[in-house]
Amino acid sequence: MKLSKTIIEPLYFFVLCGTLVSLFVHPKLSSIGIILLSLVWIADGFTREKVRAFAAHPFFIACSLLFVSYLVSWLFSTDKAAAAFAIEKKLALPLLPAIILSMPVFTKKRLQQLSTLFIGATVVTMLVALLISLYQYSISGDVNGFFYHNLVSGVRLSAITASCFCLISLVLVVHSTLGKRYRNIIGLFLILCMLLLSSKMFLFLLFILGFIYVFSLKVMRYRIILLSGLIIGLLLIITTSNPLKNRFADITKFNTERVLAHQYKTEEYFDGLSMRLVYVRFSKEIIQEHHAFWLGVGTGDAEVLLQQKITQSGMYTGNGTSDKGYLEYGFHNQYIQVWVQMGLLGLCIYLLLLGIAWIFALRSTAKWFAAILFIFSIGALTDTWLEVQTGLMLFLLFISLGIRQAPTLNSKQLSS
């Protein structure tokens, strides 16, 4: 029996809340969130309007086409088990958009509660990470425990994932209805966390979004204050000895000849940019050698072929223990990985998906929508969000919500 709207809407909301929080605890818990959302969706019944709401929606169609591409890619994979596992991880691609695009539209209050919950979960997670690092510092005296992966190892996150949480939360804080004092305090705390996490790409995204935000302010005094703070902060980082400066000094080690070389010494060091560009070259070679320009080499074989390239080139592959050297790193570029896995056709579908999302984001008056989509679009140049549960869930949840809640977000009576 179909549940009434007074029951089904709160059910959707509370399960969504639980799903968001689960991303901070353990990625596998988010799978339970998808199952619960599916059960609520089924209990809601299937009317013609509900089916039309998602089945005819271009974003759902694009997500479904990308999922079908993963299914077809299984046929071209030698390692069928790995390809099947990749398909299993992508089940959320058609399912989450279908659920969110056809569920009841939330009120502005509900949206603000979801936003506040995500911000709160991020702040609590980073506070716990800082306390763990502080405790470890009291024992070891090593200040490096406050930076990069070390900072969030105690809460079982990577620096990249934690930076993503912080930057998305910062975007939501800026456009929230929280009091000005709370926005300032939380915003400064999140910026501090991002500096400690030291992800180059996310600090770059922070700079770009911050620059856009500063020049969107109507009051010139606020522009001057924020720009002055930014300049002072940069000067302090540049002129003092600190781990963050050392992270960015790594860029100076970039060497074009190293990127173009075909053979390396085991002890040869690769900075982040050089490694990614070498992997781009490896990807091109894999495509050419397997004549896989249009359809790719298959989702089951792409990673294996990249690892073969790394090994054959002489790059460091570990010491035989838990250290796997450069074999631990994947393609580090979502666009390149989709191209290698599923060829140009798969890449075009992925770009179509992003293009559709951007059309809705640019039409929306909710500035956070475009900002979060910008994070995922540019961040995909250095990371593979579709390949990890947390990244895929974050992308689908926020983009689908931004599209579905357009009637509320675009209301002239409501601020963005």
* Digit-coded pLDDT (tens) for 230-276: 777 777 777 667 667 776 777 777 778 888 888 999 888 888 888 99
Handedness of CA 131, 134, 139, 140 (dihedral sign): positive
Contacts of 175 (CB under 8 A, 6+ apart): 366, 367, 368, 415, 416
Angle between the N-to-C axes of helices 200-216 and 367-379, in degrees from 0 to 180, rounded to the nearest 10 = 150
Q: Which of 225-239, 307-321, 343-357 has the lowest mean pLDDT?
A: 225-239
Q: Which of 199-213, 264-278, 399-413 has the lowest mean pLDDT?
A: 399-413
3-state secondary structure of 332: coil
Q: Which two tokens stand for residue 4?
A: 């009434």
- Rounded to whole angstroms, what are the CA distances from 323 to 54, 194, 335? 45, 27, 27
Torsion of CA 58, 64, 66, 68, to 10 degrees: -140
Q: Which two tokens stand for residue 256?
A: 């074009």
Residue 76: is its pLDDT beyond 60? yes
According to DSSP, residue 123 is labeled: H
Q: What pLDDT is recorded for position 136?
A: 95
Residue 98: is its pLDDT beyond 50? yes
Contact, 271 vs 254, CB < 8 A? Answer: yes
Q: What pLDDT is recorded for position 232?
A: 79
Nearest to 392 by CA among 352, 342, 334: 334
